[in-house]
Amino acid sequence: MEKLIFEHSCPGKVGYSLPEIEGLKKPSEILPQALLRATDAELPEVSEPEVVRHFVNLSNLNHHVDKDFYPLGSCTMKYNPKINDKLASLTGLTEINPNQDDESVQGALQIMFELEQYLAQLTGMHSVTLQPAAGSHGEFVGVSIMKKYHESKGEHRKYILVPDSAHGTNPSSVAACGFEAINVASLPDGTVDTADLEAKMNAEVAGMMLTNPNTLGIFEKNVEKICDIVHRYDGLMYMDGANMNALLGIVRQGDMGFDISHLNLHKTFSTPHGGGGPGSGPVAVVEKLAKYLPTPRIAKVGEKYQLLSDIPDSIGPVLGSSGNFSVIVRAYVYIRSLGLEGLSSVSRNAILNANYIKKALEDVYEIPFNNQNMHEFVASGENHKKNYGVKTLDIAKRLLDYGMHAPTVYFPLIVHEALMIEPTESESLETLDRFIEIMKKIDREARENPELLHNAPVSTPVRRLDEVKANKEVNCRYKKTTHN
């Protein structure tokens, strides 16, 4: 068992050596007394090798996409080319500052300007901002633009429509912008119920947020009709671009009728995803909404690039800088490396892989919405729960014993005991077959030895936690003890 960093601590150990500099004041001599601690912080006292080894050992305990398969539905946990990381780490890119004058960062501005152009082409939109720092942030920016659009016409609309299968961030973004979310029902095939949409769409509705393909991995075949219903009342259509990995080079948001869309550079365009960041959620808009995009905007004047802030109709800045630059560089390299034909292959392979797994498992696991899927599909452990007392959570935990990460579980909410599986385009046939065989083996174990699954995982560094107890009795503090 790996020790806590505090358990490596011994009084007097340090991991650094700094020279004494004559005339240099200590922080305690500069800061006001009121800002100083009354007692020293209880920090671990460790050497540099101990720190490095501690965190390397911890990282080895963690599952990640460089270790094995990570089929996390709706999150696109795919392998990303290491060359993109290398190029994003060039010192000419990492050692610049957002506050430098435009003249001294022309290369960086060119990368950002050109990436905006590429994303506009890929989405069929007019203009793009790279500022949003995550997909949810992109949603907030998109809905803020929606609000600004209606307010500019003297309207104060109250509602935004959201399908019942939507990502949880959609209604959150709606509420954060001062709107109220209204659920739109799904049909038995998992797509939007257009009759329910027509009944709920009116002049008080600002627009609709729609994921396409939706969170069941199904393409909304009536998307043009959906857009038409919303547009009749001058509502705006927002596409959640979380599932863009299914659409690259195949279909574009603007061509489907959407007015606003965010993308996830950290899902679709090459930044290693997971662990809470970094992220990037650019927002693309049609021409009539371009004037509302956040400032500063990147413009090309002659052969020079510059940041423009004097844009009266803009919703204003939404981030302290122009975006998460290293993520932007990775996306730029990814698009330039693959080109339109390569990006199209990304989506076509992702679609093929998802349907290959689904077909192989459909006789073993229930597939509630068994249509032609795009890049992901949702299975259900409902029959395993009814027949053997084995929950989806048990299946997910057992997968960890076989060295694979579990899919997303219990989402979307319209599927009971959901297992949301997204293999992505970067996995080999051999990996897919190994995953399929493991899932079939877990099914046999559920029938023959359900208690094994109830106790899973049994071979991981940390066994199954009592999550209810952990939530009710949160205690993350390590109490330093005296060494004898």
Report the CATH number at residue 242. Answer: 3.40.640.10
Residue 78 placed within a domain: no
Judge if 350 and 322 occupy the same domain.
Answer: no
Judge if 167 and 213 occupy the same domain.
Answer: yes
Centroid of chain to Cα 443: 30
Q: What are phi and psi of 23, to 5 degrees?
A: 90, -10
Judge if 363 and 238 occupy the same domain.
Answer: no
CB contact at 8 A, 219 and 243? no
Q: How many CB atoms lie within 10 A of CB 291?
A: 18
Judge if 272 and 304 occupy the same domain.
Answer: yes
Q: What are the start-end ranges of the H helices in 362-391? A: 382-388
Residue 70 placed within a domain: no
Judge if 319 and 418 occupy the same domain.
Answer: no
Q: What local confidence, expressed as pLDDT, does residue 249 receive? A: 96
CA dihedral sign of residues 183, 408, 57, 464: positive
Q: Please report where in the chains the tokens 């949702």 appear, as a residue.
A: 378
CATH number for position 396:
3.90.1150.10
User: Any idea which of 10-24, 98-112, 188-202 has the lowest mean pLDDT?
Assistant: 10-24
Residue 34 placed within a domain: no
Judge if 316 and 346 occupy the same domain.
Answer: no
Q: Give how many domains the chain has, as a whole number.
A: 2
Judge if 175 and 109 occupy the same domain.
Answer: yes
The last residue of a domain, from among 338, 358, 393: 338
User: Any idea which of 27-36, 85-94, 188-197 has the lowest mean pLDDT?
Assistant: 27-36
Judge if 387 and 304 occupy the same domain.
Answer: no
Interval 194-199 mean pLDDT? 98
CB contact at 8 A, 220 and 226? yes
pLDDT of 481 higher than 70: no
Residue 449: domain span: 341-470
Question: What is the band of 480 on the pLDDT scale with cuts at 50, 70, 90?
Answer: low
Judge if 329 and 197 occupy the same domain.
Answer: yes
Judge if 314 and 385 occupy the same domain.
Answer: no
Please, which residues have CB within 8 angstroms of residue 254's CB and are 6 or more apart in sequence? 123, 124, 125, 126, 286
Judge if 370 and 294 occupy the same domain.
Answer: no
pLDDT of 380 higher than 70: yes
